[in-house]
């Protein structure tokens, strides 16, 4: 099977293989249900920091949002169908951590009780007006070999990156597909979090589901047991972060979709956020991926590769300086649609742990998203490389469709970047950007038997390749890529 078929069909095929035989035999069988007591459950509690009450802190059950009083107390009429009550941690504070190092910003609700008490004791996080969010999309370990690679490659790289960030507050986010279907391996991710040494939040992905479930609510049961709610928010410095679950499981597969409960909760959450603030949405499936249009000339994206009702998300974000960060596609891409800045991150596992790169040539790695007051910038950190490793240059003939040209892959490029080239020290101007396939991805992934561990992986066309035609006598080519913050990255190619 080709990789594009795997992605297009995966949402249905993988799920179909996991459907219980009884469902296939009788799809109209009644769904077992538990009758809950009628009416809401009244939840009272207090949010404190260093023992004193914290005012105007958001507390939610995933449907409604209330703010704490001056002494930190709150009363929430919680929907009994909601599994948690959780706190949106305010700037300067963070929740305690589970023993595994993951953030403990939630408590389980007891649906059988008419009244219950839930307190939150927060921990100081000083100086988080300058912070870094490490966004690890698609660790996606399937077996012990791959969890060993996560521990041997990614964990030490994250520890090294944290060490370079100085006195910035550092928080981690696993941006979905933490596992590759085998959810019994979640403790290996938790062990990785402990070793990385920073508090981690999680985002649910399509490979983090209980596929035997017939509903999207039931499909997140194992994830929720380990990590809590699938939709929540937090303030770090001046930035408001919102985590969403846009993997909608329908019993025979998934699609990118935000359900009504989640959209209603997000509206209630944003109602407490001042217009004009910086808001970053983290979700697994992109709001929009152009993969299908680039790879197959499709007129619109596959339902499993983009969020079908993304317009509703865009409308909610209109009053804010908004960013949408996602994973899922195992490539790095900027997308322009609907107002927010979209970043689709490359994958921690690359092409599913089959080598050092994603299928567009982006190295295995993760995002380092920096918040400085209300300004958000980011860079891509390639696993095992220094922070300046932002491009790869290939000699003439590396791309068989352009035998006389050199090729540069600038994976974090967007249209604010400038990519220039120099021949034997002399400036030659801007390089020409064209759609194409990364030469290393072709070498490693192209063919029915490549890569050996994931033969369905294909190199696919990407739009962050740059071309130039050096003279026949050229001996040295240097490519410079300058981002919108003025940072310049260079790679030199010797032609002999």
Task: State the DSSP string of 442-493.
Answer: HHHH-STT-STT-TT-----EEEEEEE---TT--EEEEEEE-TTS-EEEEEE
Is 76 within 8 Å of 168 (Cβ atoms)? Answer: no
Given pLDDT bands bounded at 50, 70 and 90, which one contains residue 38?
Answer: confident
Domain covering 392-494, topology: Immunoglobulin-like (2.60.40)
**Which residues on adjacent β-strands are paired with residue 73?**
46
Residue 460, classified by CB atoms within 10 Å of its CB into exposed (0-12), middle (13-18) or buried (19+), is buried
Given pLDDT bands bounded at 50, 70 and 90, which one contains residue 250?
Answer: very high
Is 109 within 8 Å of 85 (Cβ atoms)? Answer: yes
How does pLDDT run across 149-191, given as a tens digit for each residue?
999 999 999 999 999 999 999 999 999 999 999 999 999 999 9
Domain covering 41-124, topology: Immunoglobulin-like (2.60.40)
Is 403 within 8 Å of 397 (Cβ atoms)? Answer: yes
How does pLDDT run across 362-395, given as a tens digit for each residue?
999 999 999 999 999 999 999 999 999 999 999 9
Q: Which of 36-45, 191-200, 203-212 has the lowest mean pLDDT?
A: 36-45
Domain with CATH 2.60.40.1120 in the chain: 41-124
Check pLDDT > 70 for residue 311: yes
Check pLDDT > 90 for residue 24: no
Written as six digits, the tokens of 20 are: 């219980």
- pLDDT score recorded for residue 12: 40
Given pLDDT bands bounded at 50, 70 and 90, which one contains residue 33?
Answer: low
CA-to-CA distance for 200 and 170, rounded, in angstroms? 10
CA-to-CA distance for 93 and 32, rounded, in angstroms? 41
> How far does Cα 314 stand from its chain's mean position?
18
Q: Which CATH class is domain 3-22+127-382?
A: alpha beta
Domain with CATH 3.60.21.10 in the chain: 3-22+127-382
Residue with tokens 């009363």: 75
How does pLDDT run across 111-146, given as a tens digit for each residue?
999 999 999 999 999 999 999 999 999 999 999 999
């Amino acid at each position: 099977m080709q990789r594009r078929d795997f992605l297009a069909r995966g949402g249905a095929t993988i799920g179909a293989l996991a459907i219980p035989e009884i469902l296939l035999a009788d799809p109209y069988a009644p769904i077992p249900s538990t009758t809950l007591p009628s009416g809401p459950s009244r939840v009272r509690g207090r949010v404190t920091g260093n023992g004193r009450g914290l005012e105007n802190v958001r507390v939610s059950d995933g449907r409604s949002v209330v703010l704490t009083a001056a002494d930190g107390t709150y009363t929430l009429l919680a929907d009994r169908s909601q599994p948690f009550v959780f706190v949106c941690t305010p700037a300067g504070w963070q929740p305690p951590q589970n023993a595994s190092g993951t953030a403990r910003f939630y408590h389980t609700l007891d649906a059988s009780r008419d009244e219950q008490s839930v307190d939150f004791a927060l921990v100081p996080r000083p100086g988080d007006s300058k912070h870094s969010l490490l966004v690890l999309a698609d660790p996606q370990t399937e077996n012990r070999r791959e969890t060993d690679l996560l521990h041997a490659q990614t964990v030490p790289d994250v520890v090294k990156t944290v060490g370079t960030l100085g006195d910035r507050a550092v928080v981690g986010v696993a941006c979905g597909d933490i596992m590759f279907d085998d959810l019994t391996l979640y403790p290996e991710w938790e062990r990785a979090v402990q070793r990385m040494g920073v508090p981690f939040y999680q985002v649910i992905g399509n490979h983090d589901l209980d596929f035997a479930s017939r509903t999207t609510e039931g499909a997140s049961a194992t994830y929720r047991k380990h990590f809590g709610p699938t939709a929540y928010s937090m303030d770090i410095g001046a930035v408001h972060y919102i985590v969403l679950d846009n993997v909608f499981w329908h019993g025979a597969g998934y699609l990118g979709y935000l359900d009504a409960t989640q959209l209603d909760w997000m509206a209630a959450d944003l109602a407490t956020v001042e217009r004009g603030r910086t808001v970053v949405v983290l979700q697994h499936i992109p709001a929009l991926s152009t993969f299908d249009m680039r790879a197959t000339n499709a007129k619109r994206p596959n339902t499993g590769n983009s969020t079908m009702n993304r317009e509703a998300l865009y409308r909610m974000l209109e009053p804010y300086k908004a960013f949408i960060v996602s994973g899922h596609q195992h490539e790095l891409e900027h997308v322009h649609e609907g107002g927010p800045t979209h970043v689709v991150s490359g994958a921690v596992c690359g092409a599913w742990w089959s080598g050092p790169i994603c299928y567009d040539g982006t190295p295995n790695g993760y995002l380092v998203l920096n918040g400085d007051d209300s300004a958000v910038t980011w860079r891509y950190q390639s696993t095992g490389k220094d922070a300046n490793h932002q491009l790869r240059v290939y000699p003439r003939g590396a791309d068989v469709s352009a035998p006389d040209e050199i090729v540069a892959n600038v994976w974090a490029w967007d249209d604010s970047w400038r990519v220039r080239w120099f021949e034997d020290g002399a400036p030659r101007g801007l390089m020409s950007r064209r759609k194409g396939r990364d030469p290393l991805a072709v070498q490693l992934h192209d063919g029915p038997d490549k890569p050996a561990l994931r033969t369905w992986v294909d190199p696919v066309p990407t739009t962050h390749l740059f071309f130039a035609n050096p003279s026949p006598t050229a001996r040295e080519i240097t490519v410079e890529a300058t981002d919108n913050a003025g940072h310049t990255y260079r790679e030199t190619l010797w032609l002999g």
